[in-house]
Amino acid sequence: MKTFILLSTLTPQGLANLQVTPERLLEVNREVEALGGRVLRQWAVLGPYDFLTIIEAPDELTVAKLAGEMNSRGSSYFETLPAISVDELDEMGAPDPG
pLDDT tens column, 80-97: 999 998 888 888 875 666
* Domains recognised in the chain with CATH numbers: 2-78 (3.30.70)
Give pLDDT tens digits for 11-37. Answer: 999 989 888 988 888 888 888 999 999
Phi, psi of 87 (to 5 degrees): -60, -40
- pTM for the full predicted model: 0.84
